[in-house]
Amino acid sequence: QYQGIETGVGNTQYSGKVDLTTTQSGSNYSLTDASRGGHKTYNLDHGTSGTGTLFSQSSDTWGDGTVSNAGTAGADAAYGAQETWDFYKNTFGRSGIKNDGKAAYSRVHYGNSYVNAFWDDSCFCMTYGDGSGNKDPLTALDVAGHEMSHGVTSNTAGLEYSGESGGLNEATSDIMGTGVEFYAKNSTDVGDYLIGEKININGDGKPLRYMDKPSKDGGSADYWSSSVGDLDVHNSSGVANHFFYLLSEGSGAKTINGVNYDSPTHDGSTVTGIGRDKALQIWYKALTTYFTSTTDYAGARKGTLSAASDLYGASSAEYKAVAAAWSAVNVN
Ligand code: ASN
Ligand code: ZN
Ligand code: CA
């Protein structure tokens, strides 16, 4: 029987109508992406173990954009994996999480009213809950990019998930998840420096995190202090998220794609951004070359300076901007 790679339609909850790469086998289609390492998307149907059921059906249209259709979250997750794969490939030349051309897999509809999503090294997979009341699945694009990036961190620097290295691990996922969102081309993901702005995680429609001024979430650190490593890793990440925003866009007020930002500095200095594309290259090079499992904020400053020197030269404007952005978040 006929077997082949197809382009299906995903009617997602968060990214509008998108193309999804699928597999046809005879008269059946599945959410299997043979063009990106064989990534598969499974439906746990509220279970919490195993892989559940591979999304498969007789049509190549997935979900209907509403939360009541089980395929909608499947479409979002498949799209997230697809765009994250393409982001790493086309931005850094990285072929999958281990750079070996092999895909992870994704599971949606985990548990009941489960308000989280997570990467797990042991299954080499991403898992998504359906959110409060099973109404707000955690399958938005920046969240998918965040979770898959935990796999990349785990297989590169291996930043330990506690203390300052844990904050750097979390920030790496926020930085790359944001990179994915700006990278993807669709009707709704124009890109922003907010994390989880579409998943209504606090029930008030506000984002989970803010990179221009992390303390806007009520718990994250804007600046380094000697006790920052005592915070939860999703809050100590603020220092590096703030660094990344400043390095990309600079300090002060700015509107990007209709979103207003106002990024302060610790010492009142003015930072001039070098653009997100260069900031991403610097972070990725540092992550894959200089960061180790125990890198702390001082080490991150050193590692990103080395990366900037490798990429742009030690007397470049980019190198100086890295130093200025770290100083602006009190990492000296
Ligand atoms: N969604 C969370 C994260 O990826 C799960 C966790 O706390 N590890 O950071
Ligand atoms: Zn995370
Ligand atoms: Ca976002």
- Same domain? For 257 and 176 the reply is yes
Give the largest Cα separation in the chain, rounded.
Answer: 67
* 266 shares a domain with 141: no
Could you identify the atom of ligand 1 that is nearest to the CA of residue 146? 4
Q: Is the pTM of this model over 0.90?
A: yes
Nearest CA to ligand 1 atom 7: 118
* Same domain, residue pair 228 and 245: yes
318 and 308 in contact (C-beta within 8 Å)?
A: yes
Same domain, 145 and 88: yes
The ligand whose atoms approach the alpha carbon of 169 most closely is 2
| For ligand 1, atom 5: residue with the closest CA | 118
Same domain, 35 and 126: yes
Which residue has the CA at smallest separation from atom 2 of ligand 1? 118
Do residue 76 and residue 195 come from a single domain? no
Within 6 A (CB) of ligand 1 lie: 116-118, 146-147, 150, 170, 234
Residue that finishes a domain, picked among 94, 120, 154: 154
CATH number, domain of 26, equals: 3.10.170.10
Single residue among 100, 129, 154 that ends a domain in this structure: 154
10 Å Cβ neighbour count for 228? 22
For ligand 1, what atom is nearest to the CA of residue 119?
4
Per-residue pLDDT of the chain (332 residues; tens, 9 = 90+): 899 999 999 999 999 999 999 999 999 999 999 999 999 999 999 999 999 999 999 999 999 999 999 999 999 999 999 999 999 999 999 999 999 999 999 999 999 999 999 999 999 999 999 999 999 999 999 999 999 999 999 999 999 999 999 999 999 999 999 999 999 988 899 999 999 999 999 999 999 999 999 999 999 999 999 999 999 999 999 999 999 999 999 999 999 999 999 999 999 999 999 999 999 999 999 999 999 999 999 999 999 999 999 999 999 999 999 999 999 999 99
Could you say which of 164, 234, 242, 318 is catalytic?
Answer: 234
Residue nearest to atom 4 of ligand 1 (CA): 118
**Number of structural domains, the chain?**
2
Distance 181 CA to ligand 3 centre (A): 6
Ion ligand 3 contact residues with beta carbon within 5 A: 142, 181, 192, 194
Q: Which of 116, 220, 231, 232 to mutate to test the pocket of ligand 1 (most atoms within 8 A of CB)?
A: 116
- Going from the Cα of 154 to the center of ligand 2, the distance in angstroms, rounded, reads 11
CA 253 to ligand 2 centroid distance, Å: 27
CB 275 within 8 A of CB 141: no
Task: Mark whether 147 is an active-site residue.
Answer: yes
229 lies in the same domain as 323 = yes
Q: Which among 154, 189, 215 is the end of a domain?
A: 154
Residue 137's DSSP bridge partners are none
Q: Half-sphere exposure (CA, 13 Å, Cβ side) for 330?
A: 15
Are 55 and 42 within 8 A, CB to CB? yes
Indicate if 98 and 196 belong to the same structural domain: no
Considering the domain architecture, whether residues 139 and 167 belong to the same structural domain is answered as no
Residues 82 and 168 grouped into a single domain: no
Which-ligand-closest: CA of 110?
1
Q: What pLDDT was estimated at residue 79?
A: 98
**What is the C-alpha to C-alpha distance for residues 152 and 98, in angstroms, rounded to an integer?**
7
CATH number of the CATH domain containing 228? 1.10.390.10
State residue 185's pLDDT score. Answer: 82
Say if residue 34 is in the same domain as residue 91. yes
Ligand 1 pocket test target in 119, 127, 172, 195 with most atoms within 8 Å of CB: 119
Domain hosting 138: range is: 3-154
* Angle between the N-to-C axes of helices 297-312 and 238-249, in degrees from 0 to 180, rounded to the nearest 10: 30
Q: How far apart are CA 145 and CA 181, in angstroms?
A: 8
192 and 304 housed in the same domain: yes
Task: Give the model's pLDDT for residue 220.
Answer: 99
Query: Nearest bound ligand to CA 195?
Result: 3
